[in-house]
Structure 1
Amino acid sequence: MAFTAPETPRRELYPEIEPFASGWMETGDGNRIYYEECGNPQGRPVVVLHGGPGGAVNPGMRRYFDPSRWRVILFDQRGCGQSTPNAADTDLSDNTTWTLIEDIERLRERCGVDKWAVFGGSWGSTLSLAYAITHPERVSALLLRGIFLLRKSEVRWFYQEGASQLYPDAWERYLAPIPEAERNDLMGAYYRRLTGPDRAERERCAVAWSSWEGETVSVEGPSARPEKFADPAFALAFARIECWYFTNDGFFPSENWILENVGRIRHIPGWIAQGRFDVVTPMTSAWDLHRAWPEAKLDVIPDAGHASSEPGIIDSLVRATDWAAAL
Structure 2
Amino acid sequence: MATPPDPWSVFALDVGDDHRLHVEQSGAPDGLPVICLHGGPGSGMAAAHRQFFDAARYHIIQFDQRGCGRSTPRGGLAHNSTAHLVADIERIRQHLGIDRWLVFGGSWGATLALAYAAAHRGACLGVILRGMFFGSADDLRRFFDDGQRHAPAVHTRLAALAPPGARTRLANWLPAALLTARPADQAPLVTAWMAWENALDSGPTAPFTPPTGDALAAAIDKYRVQAHYLHHHCFLAEGWWRDAAAALADLPVAILHGTQDRICHPDNARAVHAACPGSRLQLIDGCGHSPFAPAMAAALVEATRRFAVDMGFG
- Give the deviation of 1:223 after TM superposition: 1.3
Q: Could you give the per-residue CA deviations for residues 232-286 of structure 1, whole angstroms, max 9, x where no partner exists? A: 233212221222112212212x210111332211121011111001000011111
How far apart, CA to CA, are the structure 2 residues paired with 1:295 and 1:247? 33
- Give the deviation of 1:182 after TM superposition: 3.0
Q: Which amino acid aligns with 1:268?
A: L
Does the C-alpha gap of structure 1 residues 85 and 166 become closer, same or farther in structure 2, counting only changes over 3 Å? same
1:31-42 to 2 correspondences below 5 Å: 31-42=19-30
Aligned pair 1:257/2:240, yes or no?
A: yes
Aligned pair 1:173/2:161, yes or no?
A: no
Higher RCO (CA-CA < 8 Å; seq separation 6+): 1
1:111-130 to 2 correspondences below 5 Å: 111-130=96-115
Root mean square deviation, CA, Å = 2.0
How far apart, CA to CA, are the structure 2 residues paired with 1:211 and 1:96? 26
- Give the deviation of 1:226 after TM superposition: 8.8
Is the 8 Å Cα contact of residues 196 and 202 (structure 1) preserved in structure 2? Answer: no
- Per the normalisation by structure 1, the TM-score is 0.89
How far apart, CA to CA, are the structure 2 residues paired with 1:66 and 1:228? 34
The alignment of Structure 1 onto Structure 2 pairs a total of residues equal to 309
Does the C-alpha gap of structure 1 residues 193 and 153 become closer, same or farther in structure 2, counting only changes over 3 Å? closer
Aligned to 1:283: 266
How far apart, CA to CA, are the structure 2 residues paired with 1:21 and 1:300? 35
Which of 72, 77, 92 is the equivalent residue of 1:84? 72
Does the C-alpha gap of structure 1 residues 272 and 93 become closer, same or farther in structure 2, counting only changes over 3 Å? same
Aligned pair 1:16/2:4, yes or no?
A: yes
Aligned to 2:135: 150
How far apart, CA to CA, are the structure 2 residues paired with 1:229 and 1:262? 41
Aligned to 2:33: 45
Which stretches in structure 2 are left out of the alignment for 5+ residues?
A: none
How far apart, CA to CA, are the structure 1 residues paired with 2:243 and 2:91? 26
1:68-83 to 2 correspondences below 5 Å: 68-83=56-71
- Give the deviation of 1:111 after TM superposition: 1.3
- Give the deviation of 1:152 after TM superposition: 1.4
How far apart, CA to CA, are the structure 1 residues paired with 2:207 and 2:291? 13
Q: Which amino acid aligns with 1:72?
A: I
SS of 1:223's equivalent?
A: coil
Aligned to 2:122: 137
Q: Which amino acid aligns with 2:132?
A: I
SS of 2:13's equivalent?
A: strand
Is the 8 Å Cα contact of residues 56 and 77 (structure 1) preserved in structure 2? Answer: yes
Q: Could you give the per-residue CA deviations for residues 51-103 of structure 1, whole angstroms, max 9, x where no partner exists? A: 0111111220111100000000011111011111011xx4x231100000011
SS of 1:27's equivalent?
A: strand
Aligned pair 1:243/2:231, yes or no?
A: no
Aligned pair 1:57/2:48, yes or no?
A: no
- Per the normalisation by structure 2, the TM-score is 0.92
Q: Identity of paired residues, percent? A: 33
Does the C-alpha gap of structure 1 residues 62 and 226 become closer, same or farther in structure 2, counting only changes over 3 Å? farther
- Give the deviation of 1:26 after TM superposition: 0.5
Quick check: 287-296 or 139-148, which moved more? 287-296
Q: Could you give the per-residue CA deviations for residues 278-312 of structure 1, whole angstroms, max 9, x where no partner exists? A: 00001111111111124111111111010111111
Q: Which amino acid aligns with 1:118?
A: V
- Give the deviation of 1:170 after TM superposition: 2.4
Which of 67, 80, 88 is the equivalent residue of 1:95? 80
Q: Which amino acid aligns with 1:315?
A: A
Q: Which amino acid aligns with 1:149?
A: F
Quick check: 166-175 or 98-107, which moved more? 166-175
